[in-house]
Structure 1
Amino acid sequence: MLGHGPKGGYGFPNTAGSANGGPWGTNKSGNRHSEFGWDPNQNWRYTSQYDPNCKEPKEVEPTYFWLLTTYFSYLVLISLGHLRDFWGKRFNKKEFLHLMPQDGYAALMSDFDSFYTRRLKLRLDDCFSRPTAGVAGRTVTLLDRKSDDQHKSFQLTGTKTRALNISSYNYLGFAQATGGCADAVEAGIRKYGISAGGARLEAGTLDLHVQAEKLVSQFIGSEDAMIVSMGFATNSTTIPALVDRGCLVISDEFNHSSIRFGVRLSGASVRTFKHNDMKALDTLLRESISQGQPRTHRPWKKILVIVEGLYSMEGTMLHLPELIVMKERYKFYLYVDEAHSIGALGPNGRGVCDYFGVDPRCIDILMGTFTKSFGASGGYIAGNKDVIDRIRVKSHSMAYAEAITPPVLTQIISSMASIMGVSPPLTAATSSPDFKPTLALHPSSSDTDLPALQMAHEPGPAVYGPAPSHYLPPWMHLPPALLNGTEGRERLRRLAFNSRYLSSGLRKLGFVVSGHRDSPIVPLFLFHPGKMPVFSRMMLERVGKDRTPVVVVVVAYPATPLISSRVRFCLSAAHTKHDIDLILRACDEIGDILDLKTGKNRWSADEVIRRAEELVHEN
């Protein structure tokens, strides 16, 4: 639970050969501290909330030198790869058997389609798919491995390395093996077992599913919600239930693969617009509405605009207020994917609607996942009750996919309830129809002692109230800090501080960083393909006094444009301010070695750390 663990330093040794050692050992207190760091200073808190007077920093554009040298690097790699393929097919046929026709059969794989994987990705495969053990919390235990055949295969060495984890989608730090949520999950397993035993439309619906869906709709502020056992399937099976042939889907060019896949399955026509460019979207809408369907020019059966609340590769945030105005003007349907924003943005953790103070019922379909902020798995679709009831019947995930398991449902309910807080059981006064409890959209950021449960008797733009006690299973007993919402409130404010601090600090150090400062995703651009493995390995190989290993995720094509290779930091409420200091110092040191800094008026790492609170609160 929050507030437990040693108050000592934040460094921990490279525990090669053992998972023990230092303040991060296997003792009870050490485990808690490694999962969720001790950070008592209330000055290191911030409220994630839209401020129209706050100007986001301008994105630093890479110079032509950076772009040209990046293209040249890929040209060299591709040329050498084709040269190796040419000679390899003639002198090392055994290695290329799967790429060549055999006994009249076509080749199993195309050498052209697999070229990128074989000749580029293989060079840095040690930076991907690193095996881990234990909880992916503030720290993570890596199973050390080696390769004797140039990364074609790996062998475990038997040793382990404990590293600071800045790569997991554990935004609020609920991926814990200890604490109130973990205890609730353990009690749920004793009562329900570990499987729902079927699909939702068959015998797989438990009372926990019904309770979770009620809680999600209350949390989102919508009429109804349905939950799905897989985040990817939430989009890919829901979109075909909403649109089909004769409909138009207008999609942001950087939308997630699950959205693209769902649109393909639906058979609807699709048009894309430049990322987060509302002017381009306006132009496209005018053209689509005026021209209608191709050839016949008949009006579209419906137009569905699909965007994301927070984009996972760029860290950019949706311009929701502008989009809502546009929706009223053109009368299209709006689908918002909040996989990365729900639970991570807004003073109450309710996503982009909460962040911008927009009524969530202005949006037709709100989608989100439980895999990030809630430490669980699966996703949800929220919206109008009639629409959700129709999707329940048409969605393939409800008819064919295994229902969410009881332990995961328990984690969803307990973590979401701890963010909302739980209202006391109804009394004669509170059960009166004239009593309407609501939660202010933007509670005071100076209130650090009480949970964000400001009760009022007049309805607000969205009912962001505490969870009714009867929405929770009667056997679920949460600690007081979870029930009254203080711990959830603390996690939200810690995450907001960490996000703004790292994003602003990297910019001041001179790095090319994209995204919103309130985003828990902070991409740092590397550009050159050769710098990706070097950056990742240097962060992990930091050993010695106060040189804590750090595990990071490097991202390249096809997840990003070819020349936009990057390292993506994923912040968590589990990280302490000292953890962010450590990351900034490591990036500063490696950035000098790899020549990653382009800013002219750069600050030193010491100055950034000294002025952390100023950076977080500046407009």
Structure 2
Amino acid sequence: MPGSPLPTSPIAFNMSSPTSSIFKKRSTSTLTHKTAASYLSALSEADARRASLRANAPPPIGTPALSMSSSITAESEDSVLREDNVDALEYPARPPTSEQVFTTVHSEYGHCTNDDYRFKSEYVPEEPLKHIATPGPYYIMFTTYISYLILIVIGHIRDFFGKRFRPKAYRHLMEQNGYAPLNSDWDSFYTRRLKQRMDDCFGQPITGVAGRTTILLDRYSTDYNDTQTILDSRTRALNISSYNYLGFAQSKGGCADAVEESIRRYGVTSAGTRLMGGSSDLHATTEALVARFVGQEDSLISSMGFATNSAIIPALVGKGCLVISDELNHASIRFGVRLSGANVRMFKHNDMKELESVLRESISQGQPKTHRPWKKILVIVEGLFSMEGTFVDLPRVVELKKKYKFALWVDEAHSIGAVGPNGRGVADFFHINPREIDILMGTFTKSFGAAGGYVAASKTVIDRLRLRAYLGPYAEAMAPPVLVQIVASMASIMGIANPILPANNSPARLSITDAPDVHPGPAPQSLLPSWLTLDPSLASGIEGRTRLRRIAFNSRYLRAGLTKLGFITYGHSMSPVVPLLLFNPGKMIVFHRMMREWRTPIITVVVTYPACDLMTARVRFCVSAAHTKEDIDEVLRACEVIGDVLDLKHGLPLKERWDIDTVCEKAVELARL
């Protein structure tokens, strides 16, 4: 019966239990603040009352319960936009029946059994890939320029008078004893005078699992964000900002059990570099499985995703080589190219005509001054651009590769595991043989819920990188628990095939070269640790396929819903990264705080310079398979209200927009458009 406990599940959902009775009574609040100014005024008054209460309150005896929102306290009357709706975060909207068994915690991975909320992630040829930035109205752009101008002018005036009337406070910016100042450039000014004003939007500390929900450590500042004071209270919020694309960032489940077992067997560190005593059988197993997963001959893993680009690119190219890079490539790629000493040319984001033009000119002219042929030409692109939510036009890039004979590096940090019908990244998404790409790079920090990165290529290239890249001799080897998390989550996506024995039926395990190379296919049992046992739903690949289809539905639904409500969004419809344009710097602060103070608190990430252009400030939603359809509904409802308050709806004309109730009712229709 609905509402009955689940005797076979590790977590019983008895909604009539004494514990759940706490969540029955809810105080409701309505949005009475129709402007941002009135909202901020009310919020400041609430903060002042809270600070006064905390100053006069006795010290806490113990740590508050982390499973409850901080709004379930005596301070709940100070909430401006929050309705204490914790049920949606702790328990599913529809109680499970006695036949439904969930092995995950709802707050970490949302329970959803509706097969309508599933979609297949693959490229539709009719959908354009070239990024076309949608500008805001003229008055929005004008006021944004004026806002930055006012902030910059006032900041320079304060610095001018401050250095003369408060020299001690500005000593770190002025010359000291003949030494030049180390932090007096534009970045220092931007950090002090612009970013610091909105620092409560960045670096929000959390505790617990960064899953479907997360727990915020409440904080406040009395010195204009120069310092932040962490409070004793906690707030559980809907997490729409983490890179937990497939929901594997869990504290319970088959992957977490495997990690616990690895700690008992291997400890918590390798205590060395790969070439100096830090390599183990788990490293070889992980590299073999990664190569099979992405469809390459061999792979090399790194303990840090950023270092994978910055340390390996210099091992491939150097003086006399040419790197052609997309203008929106990640900072780690730019840093690696600078370290290499190679010449670099850039082309407009995803503009294949300009890429071909740069190729023709570079090949015909050769190296500067000498005009000798280039030693190597390496084109570097990202599979999924993390700030724009756009896919690389991989079919066209591969065509150009065959025509101009250059080497191709594809950074799949945000696409591997998250896109494609089999979760194998952009090559799978476009149905392109991965062997046509020279080097595939990716990270484990997103879809696999782990840490580090990898490069996969031919065995000849990987053997060279093991010695010439800085990672082997200098970087700490990846820790065993992280390796097992990668293996378990990757095997869950692939599914595990029956073990294959040699022809003589000996019990010896097979190496990667002995097992048949089928891509995309299941993981051979011979490539996994002999002691690793996964739950049947994970080993069969059913759970992995479900997660892939859930994130595809959530991505399409959120983007289409925001578009129908009238917002300007960037990116492809299948991208789990959904940027929503805010433009004005002041709106970044208010949007973040209003989402955090919503009836169901929502934690978001706002982005501005230097991560994106100064005039295209945005909030970046990161969708996960852990989110339910109800979670996306709540995000859309919050955006609907806040978008009206902050004047953010500059996309579709008014007559073409849908109301929020229609958007939520027609979610499946929107996702399948």
TM over 0.5: yes
Deviation at 1:66, TM superposition (A): 1.9
- Aligned to 2:326, which of 243, 248, 252? 252
Contact 2:366 2:373 in 1 (8 A): yes
Contact 1:343 1:350 in 2 (8 A): yes
For 1:445, the equivalent position in structure 2 comes to none
Measured in 1, the distance between the counterparts of 2:102 and 2:223 equals 41
Aligned partner of residue 523 in structure 1, secondary structure? strand
For 1:484, the equivalent position in structure 2 comes to 540
For 1:495, the equivalent position in structure 2 comes to 551
Deviation at 1:18, TM superposition (A): 3.4
In the alignment, residue 596 of structure 1 is paired with which amino acid?
A: L
Q: Residues 5, 286 of structure 1: CA spacing in aligned structure 2 closer, same or farther, 3 A cutoff?
A: farther
Aligned partner of residue 530 in structure 1, secondary structure? helix
Contact 1:4 1:33 in 2 (8 A): no
- Describe the superposition over 1:304-328 as per-residue Cα deviations: whole angstroms up to 9, x where unpaired: 0000000000000010001111100
Measured in 2, the distance between the counterparts of 1:382 and 1:235 equals 12
In the alignment, residue 542 of structure 2 is paired with which amino acid?
A: T
Deviation at 1:12, TM superposition (A): 12
Measured in 1, the distance between the counterparts of 2:382 and 2:153 equals 37
- Aligned to 2:168, which of 94, 102, 107? 94
Measured in 1, the distance between the counterparts of 2:26 and 2:233 equals 14
Matched, 1:335 2:391: no
Contact 1:11 1:548 in 2 (8 A): no
Deviation at 1:47, TM superposition (A): 0.6
For 1:18, the equivalent position in structure 2 comes to 65
Measured in 1, the distance between the counterparts of 2:113 and 2:423 equals 21
Q: Pairwise mapping of residues 170-249 of structure 1 onto structure 2 (< 5 A)?
A: 170-249=244-323
For 2:369, the equivalent position in structure 1 comes to 295
Contact 1:25 1:31 in 2 (8 A): no
The more displaced of 50-59 and 278-287 is 50-59
- Describe the superposition over 1:337-357 as per-residue Cα deviations: whole angstroms up to 9, x where unpaired: 000000001000000000000
Deviation at 1:157, TM superposition (A): 1.3
TM-score, normalised relative to structure 1: 0.91
Deviation at 1:170, TM superposition (A): 0.2
Measured in 1, the distance between the counterparts of 2:479 and 2:143 equals 50
For 2:606, the equivalent position in structure 1 comes to 554
For 2:226, the equivalent position in structure 1 comes to 152
Contact 2:377 2:407 in 1 (8 A): yes
Contact 1:5 1:32 in 2 (8 A): no
Aligned partner of residue 33 in structure 1, secondary structure? coil
Measured in 1, the distance between the counterparts of 2:454 and 2:464 equals 15
* Percent identity for Structure 1 against Structure 2: 59
- Aligned to 1:409, which of 483, 499, 502? 483
Contact 2:383 2:391 in 1 (8 A): yes
Residue segments in structure 1 that go unaligned for 5+ positions in a row? 433-456
For 2:119, the equivalent position in structure 1 comes to 46
Residue segments in structure 2 that go unaligned for 5+ positions in a row? 1-7, 28-62, 69-85, 92-100, 507-515
Matched, 1:116 2:168: no
Contact 1:199 1:205 in 2 (8 A): yes
Measured in 1, the distance between the counterparts of 2:278 and 2:168 equals 49
Deviation at 1:64, TM superposition (A): 2.3
Contact 2:217 2:234 in 1 (8 A): yes
Q: Pairwise mapping of residues 363-382 of structure 1 onto structure 2 (< 5 A)?
A: 363-382=437-456
For 1:608, the equivalent position in structure 2 comes to 663
Deviation at 1:13, TM superposition (A): 8.1
Measured in 2, the distance between the counterparts of 1:287 and 1:3 equals 63
For 2:77, the equivalent position in structure 1 comes to none
For 1:442, the equivalent position in structure 2 comes to none
Contact 1:539 1:586 in 2 (8 A): yes
For 1:510, the equivalent position in structure 2 comes to 566
For 1:438, the equivalent position in structure 2 comes to none
Q: RMSD in angstroms over aligned alpha carbons? A: 2.5
In the alignment, residue 110 of structure 2 is paired with which amino acid?
A: G
- Describe the superposition over 1:538-567 as per-residue Cα deviations: whole angstroms up to 9, x where unpaired: 00011xxxx200000000001101101000
TM-score, normalised relative to structure 2: 0.83
For 1:35, the equivalent position in structure 2 comes to 108
Q: How many residues align?
A: 585
Runs of 4+ residues over 4 Å off in structure 1: 1-14, 22-26, 28-31, 54-59, 427-432
- Aligned to 1:304, which of 375, 378, 391? 378
Q: Residues 299, 55 of structure 1: CA spacing in aligned structure 2 closer, same or farther, 3 A cutoff?
A: closer
Measured in 2, the distance between the counterparts of 1:12 and 1:101 equals 61
Deviation at 1:177, TM superposition (A): 0.3
Measured in 2, the distance between the counterparts of 1:279 and 1:610 equals 42
In the alignment, residue 465 of structure 1 is paired with which amino acid?
A: G
Contact 1:230 1:377 in 2 (8 A): yes
Measured in 1, the distance between the counterparts of 2:467 and 2:215 equals 43
In the alignment, residue 343 of structure 1 is paired with which amino acid?
A: G
